[in-house]
Every structure is written in structure tokens, then in C-alpha cells.
Amino acid sequence: MDHQVDGIFTEEISAVEEVNQQLAACNIILDELQANLTHTQAQKKIYVDAKRREVVFQPGDLVYLRLQPFKLHSLAKKDNEKLSPRYYGPYTVLSKTGEISYRLDLPSHSRVHPVYHVSWLKRAVKDSILVQQLPALLSEDLEMLIQPESVIDCRTLLNGFHEVLIKWKDLPDFESTWEPYEVIDAQFPHFTLRTR
């Protein structure tokens, strides 16, 4: 019986030693992975730092303000909302307000905050200045509080739903959007949904 107990005890010790060896091997692998990750991060930082350029503006410089496209506050959010940023301006830099932020001379009607991180700004080249002003109806939250002006066109989708191409008040023609007929009818009940 004692030989049986000794055999079981020996097997347990052997199993514990095997588990310890496996854990030690795992720790070695984890240490190697950590070293590789640290090395890769350091290499990436060197690469990014080499391409980084310090952008400094002086009071009086003209810059464009890069904003993500505004949301139409009054309409249901759509999956196909435009995602590319737009440049507005140019606006004059009034002052540097932090290490990398600047105060801009925005129009008096503007409701958006006048201080922006340098990454939101792009230097305006004076001999090729494109002017696109911030919309007057843009709120502090970058939402447009707009009203439909007219219906440009109508269409029926393959699923049977109807859409209308809306020209929005105080916005240029290229800001016209296709909207579900039901959404426009529900949110703007006094608006006549007829094409011009």
C-alpha cells in the first residue's frame, strides 16, 4: 500500500514539475513578445516623428478650419452620411492660446467656439484662396438647424420607399440631400412636398 501511495505522490510531483516547466516556457514567450512589441512601438515612433512637422501660425496668418461634416439636427441619422472633412474659411489667426491651439477671427454670426487645435487648421496660400464660410445655422455642437427650401426631385427605391431631393434654406446647391419622404413629411408638416 505504501508503494502505491509513493507512486501516486511521485506522479503528482512529476505533474507539478511539468506544469511549472510549461509556465516557465510561457513566461519566456511572453517576455519575447513584450520585447518585440516594445521594439516595434519604438520603431513606429521614430518613423512618425521623422514625418511630423511642427506647424506654427502667427497672428495675422490666414488658415482654413477643417471640420467634420455637420449633422442635420432635424433629420434622422443616415448610414450614408458624408464622412470627409470640409475646409471653411480662410480665417485670420488672432492669437496662440496654448502650446498647439489658436484663436481664430470667426464671423460674428458664428456660434462655434473660436479656439482650435493646430490639427484642425491648414495654412491658406494667399494666391489661391477658396472662400467657404461657416454656415450661419451651425450650432456649437456642429449641428445644422435648418429648414427645407424646395424639393428638387423625387425617386422610388427598389424597396418601394420614396425619397425627395431637398434644397435646404441658406445652403448651397451641393448641400442638397436625398431624404425619406416620410421623415420630411413628419418633421416639417407645413412644408409642401412638391418638385419645383
Q: What fold characterizes domain 61-123?
A: SH3 type barrels. (2.30.30)
Q: What is the pLDDT of residue 79?
A: 45
Give SS3 for 116. Answer: strand
Q: What is the pLDDT of residue 31?
A: 92
In terms of Cα–Cα distance, which of 159, 160, 158, 166 is closest to 183? Answer: 166
Count CB atoms within 10 A of the CB of residue 10.
10
Q: What is the pLDDT of residue 172?
A: 77
Asked whether this chain's domains 61-123 and 147-187 adopt the same fold, the reply is: no
Q: What is the pLDDT of residue 28?
A: 93
Q: What is the pLDDT of residue 83?
A: 41
Which position has the higher pLDDT, 7 or 116?
A: 116
CATH number of the domain located at residue range(s) 147-187 in this protein: 2.40.50
Q: What is the pLDDT of residue 170?
A: 74
* 151 pLDDT higher than 90: yes
Count CB atoms within 10 A of the CB of residue 153.
13
- Rounded mean pLDDT, 170-196: 82
Give the span between the Cα atoms of 186 and 74, in whole angstroms.
11
The percent of residues above 70 in pLDDT, for the chain, comes to: 78
> For the chain, what are the domain ranges?
18-52, 61-123, 147-187
What pLDDT, in 10s, does the model give residues 28-87? 999 999 999 999 998 888 877 776 667 889 999 999 888 765 555 555 455 444 444 578
Round the average pLDDT of the chain to a whole number and report it: 80
Give the span between the Cα atoms of 121 and 131, in whole angstroms.
15
Q: What is the pLDDT of residue 196?
A: 57
Count CB atoms within 10 A of the CB of residue 17.
10
